[in-house]
Amino acid sequence: MYVDLGNVLDSTPGLSREQLERLDDRVADAHERIEAGRADAEHGYAALNLPETTDPDEIRAAVEPFGDAEAVLTVGIGGSALGAATVSEALGGDVDAYFLDNVDPEDTTRLLDSLPLDSTAVNVVSRSGTTAETLANFLVVREAMESADVDWTEQTFVTTGDEGNLRQLAEKHDLPALKVPDGVPGRFSALSTVGLACAAIQGHDLDAILAGAADEADKLSGSLFDSPAYAYGAASYALDRRGATVNAMMPYAESLEYFAEWFAQLWAESLGKEGVGQTPARALGATDQHSQLQLYRAGRHDKLVTLVRPREREDRPIPETELEGLSYLGGSTLGELLDAEFEATEASLAAAGQPNIRVEIDRVDERGVGELLYGMEAACVLYGELENVSTFTQPAVEWGKRAARGLLGGGDFEEADAVSDKTRLE
């Protein structure tokens, strides 16, 4: 991963070279804490060890029975779905991947009606094994399979922790089970069993994904000037502190659209604590140049725009045209046009003094995806250290989970009482 901070030097808010150098002392201290956490495999920090601790053979062996599947359906939510979706969308593949990560009945019905249920592998993913949305969706999928005379036990495997309802279900029905690694919160689990089982069924090279991540891990030194991940995390933190309270993640590749969603979860759930945290926004280049860019360039100076692109991609020529006014397009390629759009956006933001950071990978391939995911996770962990928040917890998310379960009678949770007690303005 390559990170270019050039456009934050003259922006408003912005960071001078001297300010970055002063910040680098704090990066060095934060790096020591991160390294100590990694060495002890502490909760959360253990995620930064995944390039070494994830065993691709274990994942390949677990999905081996599903080698003939036409489709793979991941049933999970939040960190138990977005990592797999990001990897799968980025890399494509012959096996179609679907994600059931919401409990919208209409959408679920539409999806189940369209799936070839007799040749779909189902991966039910929940670290806790208790998340209502995931378990409810699984029960609905199971019933749909039974109604279609499909032996769901032959086509289902689970990815979960050592305890919880899902683990019990797997034991009861003797389903294959992958273990969610200890100490790895959901949103940091893309490079583990959680994020990679779907990619394995699609036939992607897990070793290359992990090798890309390992390369990024090797670059984590005590200085933001040596580590792209730390450069991004430290600059985002410092810009937020100076007023760029929104971070618009704008990849220039359709295949990275899910990546922006994954990033939004990582940033929001990890850093939104104690009244701080940069608000992630999602955009897609070049499409959103025709909508959100107006605001990013001419609106408040409260945003950092992160522009992401691959340096190389499979290209497609634009045909010659009979119209003289369009002759500039003929002979060029869609990729060249997309790059021109990227550079135009970057220059437009810079000309208006709006802070923006360029993030690049060589290609959207296994290695590039590993670099990007690991790099952003390390950036997030560093940001959390600099902001001194508890990056690896999610009390607000857990509050909502307890409230919803309580409302459905799934336990006696005081959070559910707060929902019933809400004052309504009639």
Q: Catalytic residues, which ones?
A: 269, 290, 401
Q: From the list 185, 195, 280, 285, which residue makes contact with ligand PA5 (rule: CB under 6 A)?
A: 185
Q: From the list 49, 74, 88, 126, which residue makes contact with ligand PA5 (rule: CB under 6 A)?
A: 126
Is 309 a binding residue for ligand PA5 by CB under 6 A? The answer is: no
Q: 3-class SS at 252?
A: coil
Q: Name the β-bridge partners of 158.
A: 124, 177
91-110 positions binding ligand PA5, by CB under 6 A: none
Residues that contact ligand PA5, how many (by CB under 6 A): 15
Q: Name the β-bridge partners of 168.
A: none
Give how far Cα 314 sits from Cα of 156, 333, 336, 363, 373, Å.
35, 10, 11, 9, 21
Is 391 a binding residue for ligand PA5 by CB under 6 A? The answer is: no
Sheet containing strand 279-282, edge to edge, reads 2-4, 356-361, 303-310, 246-251, 279-282
Q: How many other C-beta atoms can be found within 10 angstroms of the C-beta atom of residue 203?
A: 13
Which residue's C-beta sits nearest to ligand PA5?
A: 186
Is 79 a binding residue for ligand PA5 by CB under 6 A? The answer is: yes
Dihedrals φ, ψ of 179, to 5°?
Answer: -100, 135
Is 204 a binding residue for ligand PA5 by CB under 6 A? The answer is: no
Dihedrals φ, ψ of 74, to 5°?
Answer: -95, 125
Stretch that binds ligand PA5, among 61-69, 76-84, 107-115, 380-388 (CB under 6 A): 76-84
Stretch that binds ligand PA5, among 33-41, 185-193, 271-279, 335-343 (CB under 6 A): 185-193
249-278 positions binding ligand PA5, by CB under 6 A: 269
* DSSP calls for 162-226: SSSHHHHHHHHHT--EEEPPTT--GGG-TTSHHHHHHHHHTT--HHHHHHHHHHHHHT--S-TTT
For ligand PA5, give the closer residue by CB, 7 or 131: 131
Is 127 a binding residue for ligand PA5 by CB under 6 A? The answer is: yes
Q: From the list 13, 14, 51, 78, which residue makes contact with ligand PA5 (rule: CB under 6 A)?
A: 78
Pair 278, 236: CB distance under 8 Å: yes
Q: Provide the binding-site residues for ligand PA5, judged by CB under 6 A.
A: 77-80, 126-128, 131, 134, 185-187, 269, 394, 397
